[in-house]
């Protein structure tokens, strides 16, 4: 792997930057692998990377139906935080946050992780009670956080509308200083490059169309580039979880919904943190290019169309301009949607399945970008050993039979 | 609000809102309706007879197809009645709608 460093940058500058190599090889599928990962998003690539790096399993292929980073990894609004309510979630997302803190060094790729903090606003007394409870729980779990009052929010975001007579007044917020944002494409590309350098085959334009089984055990997958055999298969396909489950002959407690976001024209620096609101469902941050990155909740109906409905947009834009009247004359530049796989308890499923050797890592819904490193870490363990890591043990498919759900609906503030 | 979106949203978005035909009130904008999920999921008549897996199947498992989907809608800001619709989950086209108590096909 060519190292990215200031020296190499200078060296290549002398050659007019014509000497750079592609970040990963264009691999042709082999007939057989030890492990196949279906889905070349951040989670799948991170899984492949940690399989090779931590578990020494390098006979791995990542099969992606489109291009690397074309799914939700390249479509999300990049909020990273770990202030979830329940112990099981805190452990998972905090493990991830700790990996984020060293990620650029680890994979020698600048993922532009910026710990600018995240505010989750409270708009009524119940919101504030929930926030206090969650921050207490976070502190007990060693996750940083504090409760701010209205003045505390105003200090961080001077232009936010804190007048008491708006429909949803700002009564305070939770504040996690170690939270922040990252460059989403870089996460996909960086993991792809790092996994490739350890021998993982990254195979784009290769759609999985069937799951081969023999006697209840997985033997491989059918793809648009032929049959590929494997000892174990890990499915990490975000919004297409139900489609893959159907190929394997079972159903999941998952529904796929459209989730949209948009960015504004670039502004001078104005917002140096991330502000989210659960109750009125809008959140905003400012990218390094100066654009405001704005998002909201899912469309109510299920859908695989990568676009959002108009009234959802109207809803979150009206919330936006009530909270930030200063943004009312901004022009929006781009709008897009992704397909998010939502589980009834708003927690992921990182689990064995009814098919032996077939594992699923899905159900991240509207909030899985932040979990990319941690998800890859625990799923690599699961695929390497055939048993869950202690962190993902509570996130089994079994929990829907036992009733031990990890209910993060509302509990974790906005689910992004 | 009106000005904001007129300035920023390409024209074709105005027609992209779903038009849903309530069996009683006729075609109306999507914003008058609430979504009620997959249709034809029947509550088991004898829950005691079910094991945990069968109960979980009823409670949580969904078909979530990429394609035609029979689902429930409520005309919440209209006649407030529930009905079923067959909608395509990629194009979002709605093939037909019918009252809850009528047969699916
Ligand atoms: C608008 C929006 C905003 C969001 N905001 C946030 C946020 O602020 N913070 C946060 O933490 N999360 C956020 N999320 C959620 C986050 O994006 C996802 O949870 C996360 O990126 C999922 O990662 P992934 O790698 O599993 O998915 P993806 O990147 O979608 O990867 C799955 C891949 O599987 C591929 N695939 C599917 N079917 C097949 C097949 N049959 N064969 C081969 N490949 C297949 C797809 O093409 C895709 O590339 C947001 C999502 C959206 C849509
Ligand atoms: Zn009606």
C-alpha span between B67 and B61 (Å, rounded): 18
B52 closest CB neighbour out of A305, A321, A401: A401
Confidence of residue A58 (pLDDT cuts 50, 70, 90): very high
Contact A167, A322 (CB under 8 A): yes
pLDDT value of residue B105? 58
pLDDT value of residue A242? 97
With b for 16 or more beta-carbon neighbours within 10 A and e for fewer, the A281-296 pattern comes to bbbbbbbeeebbbbbb
Please enumerate in sequence order all residues whose Cβ is within 8 A of that of A235, keeping only pairs 6 or more positions apart, or say none: A38, A39, A241, A244, A248, A358, A359, A360, A361, A362
Residue nearest to atom 33 of ligand 1 (CA): A39
Kindly report, residue by residue over A247-276, the tens digit of the pLDDT. Answer: 999 999 999 999 999 999 999 999 999 999
Does A123 sit in the ligand 1 pocket, CB within 6 Å?
no
Pick from A23-37, A277-291, A366-380, B10-24: least confident:
B10-24
More confident position, B5 or B97: B97
Kindly report, residue by residue over B60-98, the tens digit of the pLDDT. Answer: 999 999 999 999 999 999 999 999 999 999 999 999 999
Q: What percentage of chain A reaches a pLDDT higher than 90? A: 93
Give the residue from A301, A323, A332, A362 with the most B CB atoms within 10 Å of its CB, the best one to mutate. A301
Tell me, in angstroms, the distance from the centre of ligand 2 to residue A142's CA: 52
* CB-CB under 8 Å, A302 with B71: yes
Q: Which two tokens stand for residue A207?
A: 């759609």
* Half-sphere exposure at residue A302, Cβ-oriented, CA atoms within 13 angstroms: 29
Nearest residue of A to residue B37, measured between CA atoms? A301
pLDDT value of residue B17? 79
C-alpha span between A389 and A383 (Å, rounded): 10
Tokens 């709605």 appear where?
B94
Give the number of whichever ligand sits closest to the CA of residue B82.
Answer: 2
Tell me, in angstroms, the distance from the centre of ligand 1 to residue A409's CA: 19
Tell the burial category of B34 from Cβ atoms under 10 Å away from its Cβ (0-12, 13-18, 19+). Answer: middle
User: In three state form, how does the secondary structure of chain B look?
Assistant: CHHHHHHHCCHHHHHCCCEEEECCCEEEEHHHCEEEEECCCCCCCCHHHCCHHHHHHHHCCECCCCCEEEEEEECCCCCCCEEEEEEECCCCCEEEEEECCCCCC
Atom of ligand 1 nearest to the CA of A367: 12
Q: Does A405 touch chain B (CB under 8 A)?
A: no
C-alpha span between A367 and A378 (Å, rounded): 17
pLDDT value of residue B5? 40
Q: What is the mean predicted confidence (pLDDT) over A271-288?
A: 93
Residue nearest to atom 31 of ligand 1 (CA): A41
Per-residue pLDDT at A378 exceeds 90: yes
- Of residues A221, A235, A234, the one with CA closest to residue A35: A234
C-alpha span between A361 and A37 (Å, rounded): 10
Tokens 């308890």 appear where?
A345
Mean pLDDT for chain A overall: 95
C-alpha span between B28 and B32 (Å, rounded): 7
Instruction: Give 3-state DSSP helix, strand, coil % of chain A, rounded to 5.
Output: 35, 25, 40
Q: Which domains does chain B have, with CATH numbers?
A: 33-41+66-105 (3.30.2270.10)
With b for 16 or more beta-carbon neighbours within 10 A and e for fewer, the A83-109 pattern comes to bbbbebbbbbbbbbbebbeebbeebeb
* CB-CB under 8 Å, B16 with A304: no
Pick from A114-118, A224-228, A317-321, A348-352: least confident:
A317-321
* CB-CB under 8 Å, A303 with B92: yes
Give the number of whichever ligand sits closest to the CA of residue B78.
Answer: 2
* CB-CB under 8 Å, B61 with A252: yes
Kindly report, residue by residue over A298-352, the tens digit of the pLDDT. Answer: 999 999 998 888 888 888 999 999 999 999 999 999 999 999 999 999 999 999 9
Residue nearest to atom 48 of ligand 1 (CA): A71
Q: What is the mean predicted confidence (pLDDT) over A347-371?
A: 97
Tokens 């060094």 appear where?
A105
Q: Which domains does chain A have, with CATH numbers?
A: 25-79+85-94+184-252+345-412 (3.50.50.60), 108-180+256-342 (3.30.9.10)
Does A141 sit in the ligand 1 pocket, CB within 6 Å?
no
Which of the 8 DSSP states describes residue A330?
A: P
Per-residue pLDDT at B12 exceeds 80: no
Confidence of residue A296 (pLDDT cuts 50, 70, 90): confident
Q: What percentage of chain A reaches a pLDDT higher than 70? A: 98
In sequence order, the β-bridge partners of residue A36 are A61, A233
Q: How far is CA B7 from CA A325, A328, A330, A332, in A?
A: 17, 11, 9, 9
Q: What is the pTM of this model?
A: 0.95
pLDDT value of residue B11? 41
Atom of ligand 1 nearest to the CA of A208: 42
pLDDT value of residue B99? 96
Does A193 sit in the ligand 1 pocket, CB within 6 Å?
no
Phi, psi (5° rounding) for residue A220? 160, -165
H or E segment and range at residue A332:
strand A332-342
C-alpha span between A278 and A276 (Å, rounded): 7
Q: B4 contacts in A (CB within 8 Å)?
A: 317, 321, 328-329
pLDDT value of residue A410? 62
Which of the 8 DSSP states describes residue A326?
A: G
Per-residue pLDDT at A416 exceeds 70: no
The alpha carbon of residue A238 is apart from the nearest alpha carbon of chain B, in Å, by 13
* CB-CB under 8 Å, A304 with B31: no
Per-residue pLDDT at A109 exceeds 90: yes
- DSSP character string of A248-290: HT--BS-EEEEEEEEEEEE-SS---SEEEETTTTEEEEE-TTS
pLDDT value of residue A306? 86
Kindly report, residue by residue over A152-206, the tens digit of the pLDDT. Answer: 999 999 999 999 999 999 999 999 999 999 999 999 999 999 999 999 999 999 9
Kindly report, residue by residue over B31-59, the tens digit of the pLDDT. Answer: 999 999 999 999 999 999 999 999 999 99
Beta strands per DSSP E along A28-69:
32-38, 60-63
Interface of B with A (CB under 8 A): 1, 4-5, 7-9, 13-14, 16-18, 30-31, 34-35, 37-38, 52-53, 55-57, 59-66, 69, 71, 87, 89-92
ipTM of the prediction:
0.92
Q: Does A344 touch chain B (CB under 8 A)?
A: yes
Instruction: Give the angle subtended at the CA of A123 by the CAs of A121 and A124, to the nearest 5°.
Output: 135
Tell me, in angstroms, the distance from the centre of ligand 2 to residue B25's CA: 4
C-alpha span between A305 and B9 (Å, rounded): 18
Please enumerate in sequence order all residues whose Cβ is within 8 A of that of B48, keeping only pairs 6 or more positions apart, or say none: none
Give the number of whichever ligand sits closest to the CA of residue A187.
Answer: 1
């Amino acid at each position: 792997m060519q190292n990215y460093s200031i020296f190499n940058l200078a060296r290549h500058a002398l050659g007019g930057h014509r000497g750079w190599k592609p970040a990963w090889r264009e691999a042709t599928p082999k007939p057989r692998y030890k492990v196949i990962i279906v889905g070349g998003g951040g989670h799948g690539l991170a899984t492949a990377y940690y399989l090779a790096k931590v578990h020494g399993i390098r006979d791995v292929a990542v099969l992606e139906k489109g291009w690397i980073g074309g799914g939700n990894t390249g479509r999300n609004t990049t909020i990273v935080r770990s202030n979830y309510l329940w112990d099981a979630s805190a452990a998972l997302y905090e493990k991830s946050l700790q990996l984020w803190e060293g990620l650029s060094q680890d994979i020698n790729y600048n993922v532009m992780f910026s710990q600018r903090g995240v505010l989750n606003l409270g708009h009524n007394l119940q919101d504030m009670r929930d926030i206090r409870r969650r921050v207490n729980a976070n502190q007990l779990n060693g996750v940083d956080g504090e409760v701010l009052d209205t003045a505390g929010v105003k200090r961080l975001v001077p232009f936010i509308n804190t007048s008491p007579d708006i429909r949803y007044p700002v009564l305070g917020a939770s504040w996690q200083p170690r939270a922040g944002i990252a460059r989403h494409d870089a996460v996909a590309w960086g993991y792809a490059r790092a996994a490739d350098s350890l021998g993982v085959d990254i195979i784009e334009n290769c759609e999985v169309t069937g799951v081969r089984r023999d006697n209840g055990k997985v033997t491989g997958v059918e793809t648009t580039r032929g049959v590929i055999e494997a000892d174990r298969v890990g499915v990490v396909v975000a919004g297409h979880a139900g489609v893959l489950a159907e190929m394997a002959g079972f159903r999941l407690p998952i529904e796929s919904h459209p989730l949209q976001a948009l960015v504004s024209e670039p502004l001078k620096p104005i917002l140096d943190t991330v502000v989210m609101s659960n109750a009125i469902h809008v959140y905003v941050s400012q990218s390094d290019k100066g654009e405001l990155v704005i998002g909201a909740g899912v469309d109510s109906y299920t859908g695989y169309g990568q676009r959002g409905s108009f009234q959802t947009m109207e809803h979150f834009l009206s919330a936006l301009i009530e909270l930030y009247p200063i943004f009312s004359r901004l022009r929006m530049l781009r709008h897009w949607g992704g397909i998010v796989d939502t589980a009834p308890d708003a927690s992921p499923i990182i689990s064995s399945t009814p098919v032996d050797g077939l594992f699923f890592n899905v159900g991240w819904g509207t909030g899985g970008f932040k979990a990319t490193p941690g998800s890859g870490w625990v799923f690599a363990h699961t695929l390497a050993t055939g048993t869950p890591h202690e962190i993902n043990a509570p996130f089994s498919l079994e929990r829907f039979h036992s009733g031990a759900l990890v209910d993060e609906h509302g509990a974790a503030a906005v689910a992004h | 609000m009106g000005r904001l979106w007129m300035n920023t949203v390409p024209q074709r978005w105005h027609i992209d809102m779903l038009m849903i035909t309530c069996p009683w009130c006729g075609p109306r904008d999507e914003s008058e309706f609430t979504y009620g999920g997959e249709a034809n999921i029947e509550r088991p008549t004898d829950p005691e007879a079910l094991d945990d897996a069968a109960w979980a199947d009823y409670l949580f498992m969904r078909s979530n197809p990429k394609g035609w989907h029979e689902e429930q809608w409520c005309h919440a800001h209209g006649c407030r009645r529930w009905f079923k619709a067959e909608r395509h989950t990629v194009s979002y086209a709605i093939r037909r709608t019918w009252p809850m108590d009528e047969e699916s096909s």
